[in-house]
Chain A
């Protein structure tokens, strides 16, 4: 707990522990055991609301779980009812594009947090990422936006990749890794997220593909037994199991199919622990 960045968060985390049992089961709830890092904070113009953006890690290329905390600028009390909309945008001087995102599923905060996600598809070395957060504060009825500049780092190995479908050679998909975020030697939940690139600004979730996942340790040339291929659950999320028989450098080889047609089989996601 001593690693907590600041005291309000400490309290939030403490409360979240207290109220853990009362939380709704299907909501994406912040894990009290994690250390949250504040990525950015600022006032959303004209809303009397202070917006704070948290994550468990600094922003990286890939699927980022984010947590938005709203506070009444006068009282400093958390705002638990709001419509939060994300608008990630990358400015690459000659052009700009958005990124896949998941707005909070509910207008009610979970332990004061609005869980959401952005899948940054490039690192900040290629341009400037801005995350616009539009707030409609349902407690005071005011609306407005705050823009955060986000420094997106490239992780040691890619946690997201894109491919052009082999079936039509035009449709581009993005595949990101959600879980395992804390891999263990044993059975791990595997969760992937797949988005289709409709335009530079539109990246809807895709549920049409099937995934065959084969883990291997490239250094030793072995795999692991009893893995479960991820299947689509909801909103472009595919869930399965990946088994690691030892620590170290693992590669999840992915083969993606549309019906019986292989649309990509050249990509993988590496996990080292």
Chain B
């Protein structure tokens, strides 16, 4: 493949797409849809068994990780800024689903969810995205599913000791620069990859021309990863990933970020052999520390200046392996453990007075240990059964007397909270023929209330304008979920259709407490997290890929979501019907791509959450890709215009009624050596 890359990159792209399009044989890959980004170092492309369609959307070398994630049908992005969009699975909240980086738990240090862990992964260090939905608790007790962003690894390359790439680009809407560099060393037993990327964006121009203030940001992401072959079977891997962000504006929130930093380190050992009873055994130890400093010093007309620092520290580890019981039966087991410390505070300043100090996350620690297993049995050549089970023990505690004293004003217990969470799922797949494959999953799962839901202290939510307080009496949510998927291919067509329905009992939601006085100046009131009897979440995702020949692709995805509470009222943050189409035509060493994004209006909104309605929109993008060579090495040029007709629009999950970027012309050069 390497030779193909070096000679004719676009041909390679096609070959690769074909390779990816073949249904994979592995049982595990069957149960975990995986969006491959294996060739990121060349194209920034994503592929997938049932979603190779992503390939198109992310062909853009200038894309951010968020741009890539936003194209995955199972993911929605909550947008508070052009930076730090929060990926959620379907319409499950971030507390209901898991977001892991290379299997590691990373808890944001921001009480306002400005820093989902996905911001620490740049496209060039992202290898693939694994999304588990139906039985999505293999890496944690979650009811919505788990997204695991696998980090790119150093590659062993016998032909070259040193290789790398540099890339530089500009985007007009935000006057943004995006520069990256990557260097790979490949020795006999040791391979090392180091990369750096820098982004700097100004305030962006929204559709129609209005500049959105406080939408700027600057960030540096850098890391090093090394693989060392211990012997024939065992490899050890070390990762160090660092991320620094400065002056990050959040136009939909009352505060910005002065500085945010992440330090992520991991050490793992893995058995690559596919022989013997125990296969693909992996042990991993990791630690991460996140620091976050919110800042309002650039804002005008604020009633009171305040500082809001937060920190998060996690230590964890896991061991996983596959036990091959016989040719048709296997058991995947994973034991994991993590300890997370969180603390956040707020200091308010008023001239001539002592500072006002409070803990917004009273110092708290979460200790989680879990054990999960998937039993897979191939019954015959057409049918496969998977049974997954997982149990977690959670211990959550307030770690300082000050934190306990402060939280006790809410009149709820401040003692340790210990819960045992149980999950089970049964999945059955049946392959009728090449045209039709059916997969059904029925699952029961539980999830622990988050630290904000338990301990949050007057956390202002800019979405509905309420202060939120925690509730240490919350019970874990539990959910029954049914999911069915049919997929297949016929001639030039390839399709997939998924439907899901879940009933979440003890549904955790903030409910207005009229008797309580707000803390934030101008807030609408105080809401406390409580367990509601239940809520229903349902939806469907469809994809169609048409590939008449190797130079023409058409892709179409549609998704629909529905949510209601026990009073049959709409849940907030439910996106409307959304459809994305893309057509790519290749001519010689050029590719042209036209995209159309459509969304219906969302008028079914939650009045309790003060949610605003969102209008329908249609936006179009045009992209061009060219691959040439310079001094014998490939040079790639990506250019295009996003939001071609400069539509003024916003998506339903965008906070604050803030419009998205208008017409954006971009150009990115990537040179490989």
Contact assessment for B353 and A246 in the assembled complex, using a CB-CB cutoff below 8 Å: no
Contact assessment for A186 and B406 in the assembled complex, using a CB-CB cutoff below 8 Å: yes
A245 proximal to B (CB < 8 A): yes
Task: Please tell me the number of chain A residues within 8 Å of chain B, measured between CB atoms.
Answer: 23
Which candidate, B118-126, B364-372, B500-508, B514-522, is the interface stretch facing chain A?
B514-522
Q: Which residue of B lies closest to A241 (CB)?
A: B409
Partner of B406, one of A185, A222, A248, A272: A185
Contact assessment for A248 and B409 in the assembled complex, using a CB-CB cutoff below 8 Å: no
Residues of B490-548 contacting chain A, CB below 8 A = 515-519, 521
Contact assessment for A220 and B354 in the assembled complex, using a CB-CB cutoff below 8 Å: no
CB contacts between A and B, total, < 8 Å: 78
Contact assessment for A245 and B457 in the assembled complex, using a CB-CB cutoff below 8 Å: yes
Partner of B408, one of A186, A220, A249: A186
Contact assessment for A185 and B408 in the assembled complex, using a CB-CB cutoff below 8 Å: no
Contact assessment for B353 and A184 in the assembled complex, using a CB-CB cutoff below 8 Å: no
Partner of A245, one of B350, B402, B406, B411: B406
Complex: how many Å from CA A9 to CA B457? 43
Complex: how many Å from CA A245 to CA B345? 12
Question: B346 → chain A, closest Cβ, in Å?
Answer: 8
Task: Please tell me the number of chain B residues within 8 Å of chain A, measured between CB atoms.
Answer: 27
B275 proximal to A (CB < 8 A): no
Q: Which residue of B lies closest to A243 (CB)?
A: B409
B355 proximal to A (CB < 8 A): yes
B587 proximal to A (CB < 8 A): no
Partner of A222, one of B346, B405, B408, B517: B517
B382 proximal to A (CB < 8 A): no
Contact assessment for A225 and B411 in the assembled complex, using a CB-CB cutoff below 8 Å: yes
Contact assessment for B358 and A185 in the assembled complex, using a CB-CB cutoff below 8 Å: yes
A167 proximal to B (CB < 8 A): no
Contact assessment for A247 and B519 in the assembled complex, using a CB-CB cutoff below 8 Å: no
Contact assessment for B358 and A246 in the assembled complex, using a CB-CB cutoff below 8 Å: yes
Residues of B325-379 contacting chain A, CB below 8 A = 346, 348, 350, 353-359
B177 proximal to A (CB < 8 A): no
User: Can you list, as one digit per residue, whether each of A193-232 has a CB less than 8 Å from chain B (1) or not (0)?
Assistant: 0000000000000000000000011011111111000000
- Contacts A186-B406, A187-B405, A187-B408 known; A246 to B356 CB distance under 8 Å? yes
A120 proximal to B (CB < 8 A): no
Partner of A247, one of B354, B458, B521: B354
B590 proximal to A (CB < 8 A): no
- Contacts A184-B405, A223-B517, A225-B517 known; A248 to B411 CB distance under 8 Å? no
A19 proximal to B (CB < 8 A): no
Partner of B357, one of A186, A224, A225, A246: A246
B302 proximal to A (CB < 8 A): no
User: Can you list, as one digit per residue, whether each of B75-93 has a CB less than 8 Å from chain A (1) or not (0)?
Assistant: 0000000000000000000
Measured between beta carbons, the chain A residues less than 8 angstroms from B418 are none
Partner of B409, one of A244, A247, A273: A244
Question: A158 → chain B, closest Cβ, in Å?
Answer: 17
B410 proximal to A (CB < 8 A): yes
Measured between beta carbons, the chain A residues less than 8 angstroms from B402 are 184-186
Contact assessment for A220 and B356 in the assembled complex, using a CB-CB cutoff below 8 Å: yes
Q: Which residue of B lies closest to A215 (CB)?
A: B517
Question: A217 → chain B, closest Cβ, in Å?
Answer: 7
Complex: how many Å from CA A187 to CA B353? 22
Contact assessment for A221 and B521 in the assembled complex, using a CB-CB cutoff below 8 Å: yes
Contact assessment for B406 and A247 in the assembled complex, using a CB-CB cutoff below 8 Å: no
Contact assessment for B353 and A245 in the assembled complex, using a CB-CB cutoff below 8 Å: no
Contact assessment for A220 and B348 in the assembled complex, using a CB-CB cutoff below 8 Å: yes
Measured between beta carbons, the chain A residues less than 8 angstroms from B304 are 219-220
Complex: how many Å from CA A226 to CA B457? 14
Measured between beta carbons, the chain B residues less than 8 angstroms from A226 are 409-411
Complex: how many Å from CA A135 to CA B518? 54
- Contacts A186-B405, A245-B458, A248-B353 known; A225 to B358 CB distance under 8 Å? no
- Contacts A185-B358, A246-B357, A249-B353 known; A220 to B521 CB distance under 8 Å? yes
Complex: how many Å from CA A102 to CA B521? 43
- Contacts A220-B304, A245-B457, A248-B355 known; A225 to B521 CB distance under 8 Å? no
Measured between beta carbons, the chain B residues less than 8 angstroms from A273 are 354
Complex: how many Å from CA A221 to CA B518? 8
Complex: how many Å from CA A217 to CA B350? 12
Complex: how many Å from CA A82 to CA B355? 47
Measured between beta carbons, the chain B residues less than 8 angstroms from A223 are 517
Scoring A185, A243, A249 by chain B CB atoms within 10 A of each residue's CB, the highest score goes to: A185
Partner of B356, one of A186, A187, A219, A243: A219
Complex: how many Å from CA A221 to CA B304? 12
Q: Which residue of B lies closest to A223 (CB)?
A: B517
Complex: how many Å from CA A225 to CA B517? 7
Contact assessment for B519 and A219 in the assembled complex, using a CB-CB cutoff below 8 Å: no
Contact assessment for A249 and B517 in the assembled complex, using a CB-CB cutoff below 8 Å: no
Partner of B350, one of A186, A219, A224, A244: A219
Measured between beta carbons, the chain B residues less than 8 angstroms from A222 are 517-519, 521
Contact assessment for B356 and A247 in the assembled complex, using a CB-CB cutoff below 8 Å: yes
User: Can you list, as one digit per residue, whether each of B398-420 has a CB less than 8 Å from chain A (1) or not (0)?
Assistant: 00001011101111000000000
Complex: how many Å from CA A221 to CA B353? 15
Contact assessment for A248 and B519 in the assembled complex, using a CB-CB cutoff below 8 Å: no
Partner of B358, one of A245, A249, A272: A245
Q: Which residue of A lies closest to B407 (CB)?
A: A186
Question: A185 → chain B, closest Cβ, in Å?
Answer: 5
A-B contact pairs, 11 of them (CB 8 A): A185-B357, A186-B404, A186-B408, A219-B353, A219-B356, A220-B519, A245-B458, A246-B346, A246-B358, A248-B353, A273-B354
Sample of 5 further A-B pairs with CB below 8 A, known A219-B350, A245-B358: A185-B405, A217-B356, A222-B518, A248-B350, A249-B356
A-B pairs with lowest CB-CB distance, top 10: A186-B405, A248-B356, A246-B358, A243-B409, A223-B517, A247-B357, A226-B411, A185-B406, A222-B517, A246-B356
